[in-house]
Structure 1
Amino acid sequence: MKVQFLPAEASDADELTRTCKVTFDDDTFKHTGKPVGGAPGYDDVNYQLNRMRDDIYLKIMLDGEIIGGIIIEELSQSHKQLIRIWILPDHQDKKIGQSAMMHIHENYPARKWTLETPPYAVRNHHFYEKLGYINKGWLPDCPEPLYVYEKEIE
């Protein structure tokens, strides 16, 4: 089992959109019973392409197959925001997410990392907290309730 975190390319956009949609729809269904749902643009190829152009966008590869992705926005030289991370449901609970987070912290250094996640995604909360992220409360003025998590790195 060889996991790699590689820069995404435009030719990956369809597959990254597919994996993102499958993962977010699965998570939404597990927690809300709704058949579809996710963060804005999760199911839109153009969103993926725009993020590839503007941000740090990595594909998560397992034995040569795209199984997920990571999108990072650089808010300042010392502050990065994890916009999105996903791993196909069949590949979860195998420490790939933990490896992905270690990879981004080591290869894209910042003193402060932030991310947002919905309140129903309790499993995500535990995952982020295990990695040293602290729940800072609700994102203000947001149409959908989201928690803000933050991690300071010395």
Structure 2
Amino acid sequence: MVAKLELANVADALVLKALCMEAFTPDFEQYGGFPPGVEDIDWHLAQITTGHYYKIYYNDELAGGILTVPTTDVETEIKLFYITGDFQDKQLGSKVIALIEQCYPMTKQWSLVTPYKSYRNHHFYEKQGYVKVGELQPEPNDEFRLFQYEKCC
């Protein structure tokens, strides 16, 4: 299996939006919503223009995307990471984490958030060396929470 990352360009926005929506459909069904912005093509276009939105390939097939946000010279947040169902359970996620870390060699601390009931995500990120450091409740009157994870290098 060959995993590859490639920076997205504006011509990729529609297909990335479609893949993202497909990948997050189980979250929509569980929580009643998608991650903020992902339903909007303009959001994807804006993220692409940051120069930190990557297409994920599995053996030359487009399998998903990963969006990073460098917050300081040594800190980077994984803002969005998705792999469509057809490409899950193939060790692709682990390869992508290794590849994205190589793209940011100066990063000493990685961070991300993931939904509180996304047990597979929790297990996956912990296997990658991430540690749960907190919880956020975006809407005070809603039980939905996000778990905060960090990884130090």
Q: TM-score, normalised on structure 1?
A: 0.89
Could you tell me how far apart the structure 1 residues matched to 2:59 and 2:124 are?
24
- Tell me whether 1:111 sits opposite 2:103 in the alignment: no
Percent sequence identity is 33
Deviations 1:69-89 (A, max 9, x none): 000001000000000110001
- Checking the alignment, whether the CA contact within 8 Å between 1:67 and 1:87 is kept in structure 2 is yes
Deviations 1:31-88 (A, max 9, x none): x2x6x63210122211111011125110012343321000000100000000011000
- Checking the alignment, whether the CA contact within 8 Å between 1:60 and 1:68 is kept in structure 2 is yes
SS of equivalent to 2:37? coil
- Checking the alignment, whether the CA contact within 8 Å between 1:8 and 1:52 is kept in structure 2 is yes
Segments ≥4 residues shifted beyond 4 Å: none
Pairwise CA RMSD: 1.6
2:127 counterpart residue number: 130
2:149 counterpart residue number: 149
CA positional deviation for 1:8: 0.4
Number of equivalent positions: 148
Could you tell me how far apart the structure 1 residues matched to 2:8 and 2:111 are?
22
Could you tell me how far apart the structure 1 residues matched to 2:128 and 2:59 are?
25
| AA partner of residue 17 (structure 2) | T
Could you tell me how far apart the structure 2 residues matched to 1:53 and 1:101 are?
22
- Tell me whether 1:56 sits opposite 2:52 in the alignment: yes
Match of 1:42 among 38, 45, 52: 38
Could you tell me how far apart the structure 1 residues matched to 2:138 and 2:27 are?
20
2:72 counterpart residue number: 76
